[in-house]
Amino acid sequence: MNKTLCKQLSKDYCCEEKDVLDEKNHFFIHSYLEGRRRYREQEECFLKIVSVNSKLLFCGKKQIIDICKEKYHDYPGEWFFEAENLRKLNQILSEFHYHIEAVRPFFIGEQMSDVDTGDYDVKWYTQEEIFQFKGDPRFKEAFTFVKDAPDVIGVSLSRDGEILTMAGASADSPYMWQVGIDTLEKARGKGLGSIAVALIKNEILKKGILPFYGTSLSHIISQKTALNAGFVPAWAELNCTKDD
């Protein structure tokens, strides 16, 4: 397992690195550890679950962790996010006025890629230059403008002066930066997203930081973009949120 990812998950799930690496499911009371991922961090963490290395890590409030420990102490991580199991978990959460917000697959980029940008113009953006795109609906995935996980670098591919695709990276933690991508509809299907994601992945790796990429379980095009850019599947994560 990637050492940086192991360290990151130990910070995110309030445990030790050995707890990430072994073969057992573990259950931890949540606290806010220095070095955790902070992208859209909720004021309180009621429950979050990660599936990694065929096992599960649970982290949250004591009342829900006690229930999860009783029900899922030996549940196989590979199958935990099946729909029927999520339905049952959601019923438990509803008793506390919470519900599952999302289940997402995540990818990491560990190796540099050779990137052919063809005849497209490549432009890089610093953290300060990214602010020119705030509120621009074309690039709502590339840049998030979240205070606690600031956008730190961007790259675009253009032709004839028009930006066709934009990738950005947010500093979610000191160890890992998250990559986002937007491609204009008329430029889709040409592999531009994977080119931009690979470019920004390489730049993050040069800084000694591990790039990661999250998407939706059903967004196959996005998953292919990550794979084609040299990312590999690494973990899946469930987050909860309070009922309205």
How large is the average pLDDT for residues 148-158? 97
DSSP one-letter code for 50: E
Computed over its alpha carbons, how large is the radius of gyration of the chain? 19
CATH topology classification for 121-231: Aminopeptidase (3.40.630)
In order, the DSSP letters of 57-93 are EEEE-HHHHHHHHHHHTT--GGGTT-HHHHHHHHHHH
Residue 146 has pLDDT above 90, yes or no: yes
Predicted confidence at residue 244, as pLDDT, reads 86
Angle between helix 192-206 and 220-228 (nearest 10): 50
For the entire predicted model, the pTM comes to 0.95
Asked if residues 196 and 165 have their Cβ atoms less than 8 Å apart, the reply is yes
Q: Are 148 and 169 contacting, i.e. CB atoms less than 8 angstroms apart?
A: no
DSSP-based three-state secondary structure for 132: helix
Domain boundaries, given as residue ranges, for the chain = 3-107+238-242, 121-231
pLDDT at 39: 86
What pLDDT digit, counting tens, does each position of 177-234 carry? 999 999 999 999 999 999 999 999 999 999 999 999 999 999 999 999 999 999 999 9
